[in-house]
């Protein structure tokens, strides 16, 4: 019994020491990330093109959400297919996340997840557009495109 108590004290001390050395960050990302649903999109058969959707992703990197001036924020974006047609019906599919006029992340059928870093932030709201570049196969498709966006890290 005494050995278990000693082990518990040693474990708690080691954890506290590790947190002191390495640091510990807690962010309430649920309030910081908003993703507007693009909804169902109709793609004609045997066609290619580009579609842009404005202000799809909003990041509220404010001090009330735990962000500080000059933080570097790491963001992960994932393509969440709601049906198999997303992959089977396209010959090519590229989704770019755009800030201003600059692509910051690119998702494809082979790499449906990407990360980007917003460096040296000024606390505030950041809006991102989504550009879909596509080439379709033999049939017309109506596809629901959904993105999952997560803040995965803050580097002070």
The whole-angstrom separation of Cα 134 and Cα 23 is: 43
* CATH number for the domain running over 28-155: 2.60.120
pLDDT of residue 109: 87
The whole-angstrom separation of Cα 90 and Cα 65 is: 39
Q: Residue 60 belongs to what H/E stretch?
A: strand 48-61
Lowest mean pLDDT among 9-18, 36-45, 102-111: 9-18
Sign of torsion over alpha carbons 86, 143, 139, 131: negative
The whole-angstrom separation of Cα 61 and Cα 76 is: 15
> What digits encode the pLDDT tens for the residues 107-132?
998 899 999 999 999 999 999 999 99
The whole-angstrom separation of Cα 43 and Cα 66 is: 41
pLDDT greater than 60 at residue 95: yes
Reported confidence tier of residue 28, pLDDT bands at 50, 70, 90: very low
Q: Residue 64 belongs to what H/E stretch?
A: none
């Amino acid at each position: 019994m005494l050995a278990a108590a000693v082990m518990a004290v040693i474990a708690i001390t080691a954890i506290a020491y590790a947190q002191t050395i390495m640091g510990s960050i807690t962010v309430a990302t649920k309030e910081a990330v908003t993703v507007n649903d693009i909804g169902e999109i109709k793609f004609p058969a045997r066609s290619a093109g580009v579609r842009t959707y404005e202000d799809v992703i909003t990041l509220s990197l404010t001090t009330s959400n735990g962000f500080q001036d000059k933080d570097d924020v790491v963001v992960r974006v994932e393509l969440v297919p709601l049906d198999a047609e997303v992959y089977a019906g396209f010959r090519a599919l590229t989704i770019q996340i755009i800030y201003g006029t600059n692509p910051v992340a690119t998702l494809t059928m082979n790499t449906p997840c990407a990360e980007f870093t917003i460096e040296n932030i000024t606390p505030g709201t950041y809006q991102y557009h989504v550009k879909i570049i596509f080439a379709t196969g033999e049939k017309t498709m109506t596809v629901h495109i959904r993105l999952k966006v997560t803040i995965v890290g803050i580097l002070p």
